[in-house]
Amino acid sequence: MKFFPKAPDNMNHSLKIAVLVSHARHPVSGRPLRSASDAAALELACSLALPERLTVLCAGSASADDLRDYLGLGAASIEVLAVPAEADVVPALLARLSGFDLVLCGNRSEGQTASGLLPYLLAEGLRMPLIADVLEATLQGRLLTVRQFLPKGMRRRLEMSAPAILAVHPRAPQTRQFAHARAAVGRITQTTGGGHSGNIAASAWQYEPARRPRPFKATVAQSGHSRMLGAIGGDSGARGGEVVKQGNAVAKAQVLLTYLREHRLIDF
């Protein structure tokens, strides 16, 4: 006699749920690997519905080796929307995701442009609300309860009704282990994503290596004694700052503008 584990009570069997995944490359070895935020989105979706009922999509040109990690994490099958490298994947995803109640994806990809705009473009095209930086989510019927990541260790609890798009934060809990048996039996299918031409605006973009941002800081020539007093707080005027407590907002803004002009931080 075989016993099968019972599905958790929070799993929904009526909603259509889609998960978007992308492939990435290791920065040193170049081998294919999974995106951290997309893997977190897949794990969160597996807690909301059975893996066999999920629609896992990948838009672009990805091979079986690129997506093998997602199969090992529990995806029963992955549908690859074949889109040329120079084309925009948003129209193909909008056409495929029409009619879904819940769409989960990572905050940003790790192998493509990684702009983080895809969830917002999908929300605009599908006319669905978007919740970003999702850590956890539960479903009760069509009611969705979400715990959202906030800076400085803070969290926020939100409730909304489906349909919705969830952009999952890479710090979301990831407890599922890779299983070679799941990766072996998983299926990857190729479908045509549509003959969408390349983005006209993207053709005018210029790509260059990322540069470290220059600090927006005034250069003040001080003696060693003044710098020491400013560090230990022995002289309030050694730092060269000015505290303005009197006057209206216009007068305070004028003081700030004068300071920026004196130190040549602005040229107007």
Contact 49, 14 (CB under 8 A): no
- The whole-chain average pLDDT of the chain stands at 79
**Residue with the two structure tokens 């803070």:** 154
- Reading the block at residue 6, the tokens are 């019972």
More confident residue, 130 or 226: 130
pLDDT tens for each residue of 66-116: 788 888 888 888 888 888 777 778 888 888 888 899 999 988 777 656 677
What is the pLDDT confidence band of residue 4, given thresholds at 50, 70 and 90? Answer: very low
Q: Find out whether 58 and 89 touch, Cβ atoms under 8 Å.
A: no
Task: Give the chain's length.
Answer: 268
The pLDDT confidence band at residue 129, using thresholds 50, 70 and 90, is: very high
Q: Which one has a higher pLDDT value, 166 or 108? A: 166
Q: What is the pLDDT of residues 43-69, one digit of tens each?
A: 888 888 888 888 998 887 777 777 888
pLDDT of residue 2: 40
Q: E-strand spans in 120-227? A: 130-140, 143-149, 155-161, 164-168, 187-192
Q: Where are the alpha helices (DSSP H) in the chain?
A: 36-48, 64-72, 90-96, 118-126, 180-185, 224-232, 249-262
pTM above 0.75, yes or no: no
CB-side neighbour CA atoms (13 Å) of 212: 1
Sign, CA dihedral 91-97-99-104, equals negative
| C-alpha 172, offset from chain centre | 11
What's the CA gap between 110 and 162, in Å, rounded? Answer: 28
Give helix 36-48 / helix 64-72 axis angle, nearest 10°: 40
